């Protein structure tokens, strides 16, 4: 089958998806394509993705390639670095059975991945996962010793204009199913009015739901200009080796941010910021916690994540997967009858019991969450 489209190239998938549209052919350089990148590519509506690198190297069973192919995308794998030399942004190119042509002449080729070939590669990678787990644990323990101040020491956090002390804080990260989980929490946001903290592109997810982030934390690489210019406080993650990737972008936009030098991921900093600023409760959406999620992020260990979660303790509520809690086939009419019956029973008790009044307010919040109000 011959597929034709306009070439769009970028070695960083998260940057490329910002300018992709239906009819384009995406050309990336992404070893072990992660699930979130694949979902972002699918959302653009592209039909063809050409990867100069290996989409699944066998290091671990990454889900990205399988999601793409199951979504109907033609995935050409390991096309080689020359594809970036031979094709320019905006070129009209053709793809046929792994061969990439420009002006009718072959310029590069790769392997056309199918569901069967991907599943076979994932099975092989799964057989070696024990090795990855062993290396991951050893690396984590090594850095736990180096970064133990995150657990026991005093952590200096930036001074904020936004008051967090005594309030709830909602931290949104670009992670697995983060958009669906955030949609489920809309009634909670409207009811409790937590401080809204977006970690890079998590700020855009908040804006998509009609909320303005109060604070944006991160490298500022996957967040839109609109979110950065929304008036949120900007906390730029600076690493312990002196790198500060977000500094240049804010300077280009003429925006001011506060640099915060700390080890770990930006989402770790966001959780720490909320905790050390006095949040009563921290609700986390899209955070990375298990082994596959950490490997998808390219991490060799998770010392900072582990230590910061230990430090925060029971004030942290992980809302990952909350969107799946209400998929039972409950009919609206059944729900109305149930609610009416329940209210009839407790109405008399509420009149005489302040404790039950408090319980009822919590129950009503749950009901609003279920029916999406």
Rounded to the nearest 10 degrees, the angle between the axes of helix 115-127 and helix 129-146 is: 60
Q: What is the pLDDT of residue 151?
A: 62
Q: What is the pLDDT of residue 328?
A: 46
> Would you say 107 and 88 are in contact if contact means Cβ atoms under 8 Å apart?
no
> Would you say 284 and 181 are in contact if contact means Cβ atoms under 8 Å apart?
no
Q: What is the pLDDT of residue 171?
A: 96
Q: Mind listing the pLDDT tens digit of every residue in the chain (373 residues)? A: 789 999 999 999 989 998 999 999 999 999 999 998 999 999 999 999 999 999 999 888 899 999 999 999 999 999 999 999 999 999 999 999 999 999 999 999 999 999 999 999 999 988 877 777 777 777 767 666 666 666 666 777 899 999 999 999 999 999 888 999 999 999 999 999 999 999 999 999 999 999 999 999 999 988 999 999 999 999 999 987 888 889 989 999 999 999 998 877 888 899 999 999 999 999 999 887 666 676 776 666 566 777 778 888 889 998 877 776 655 455 566 556 666 666 665 565 555 555 555 555 655 565 665 555 5
Q: What is the pLDDT of residue 199?
A: 95
Q: Give this prediction's pTM.
A: 0.73
């Amino acid at each position: 089958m011959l597929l034709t489209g306009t070439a769009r190239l970028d070695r960083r998938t998260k940057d490329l998806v910002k300018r992709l549209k239906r009819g384009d052919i995406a050309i990336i350089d992404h070893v072990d394509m992660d699930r979130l990148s694949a979902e972002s590519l699918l959302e653009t509506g592209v039909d063809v993705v050409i990867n100069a690198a290996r989409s699944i190297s066998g290091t671990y069973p990454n889900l990205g390639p399988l999601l793409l192919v199951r979504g109907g995308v033609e995935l050409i794998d390991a096309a080689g670095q020359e594809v970036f030399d031979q094709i320019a942004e905006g070129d009209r190119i053709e793809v046929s059975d792994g061969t990439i042509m420009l002006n009718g002449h072959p310029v590069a080729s790769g392997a056309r991945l199918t569901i069967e070939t991907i599943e076979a590669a994932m099975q092989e990678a799964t057989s070696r996962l024990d090795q990855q787990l062993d290396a991951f644990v050893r690396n984590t323990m090594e850095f736990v010793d180096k970064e133990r101040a995150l657990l026991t020491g005093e952590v200096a956090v930036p001074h904020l204009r936004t008051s967090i002390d005594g309030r709830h804080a909602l931290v949104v990260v670009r992670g697995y199913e983060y958009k669906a989980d955030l949609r489920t929490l809309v009634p909670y946001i409207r009811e409790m009015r937590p401080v809204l903290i977006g970690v890079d592109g998590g700020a855009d997810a908040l804006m998509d739901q009609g909320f303005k982030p109060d604070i944006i934390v991160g490298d500022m690489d996957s967040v839109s200009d609109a979110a950065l210019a929304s008036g949120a406080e900007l906390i730029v993650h600076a690493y312990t080796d002196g790198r500060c990737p977000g500094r240049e972008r804010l300077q280009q936009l003429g925006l001011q941010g506060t640099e915060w030098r700390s080890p770990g991921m930006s989402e770790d900093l966001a959780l720490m910021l909320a905790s050390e600023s006095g949040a009563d409760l921290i609700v986390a959406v899209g955070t990375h916690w298990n082994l596959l999620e950490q490997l998808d992020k390219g991490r060799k260990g998770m010392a900072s994540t582990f230590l910061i979660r230990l430090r925060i303790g029971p004030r942290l509520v992980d809302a990952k997967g909350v969107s799946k809690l209400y998929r039972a086939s409950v009919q609206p009419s059944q729900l109305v009858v149930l609610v009416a019956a329940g209210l009839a029973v407790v109405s008399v008790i509420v009149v005489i019991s302040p404790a039950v009044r408090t319980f009822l307010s919590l129950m009503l919040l749950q009901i609003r969450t279920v029916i999406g109000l």
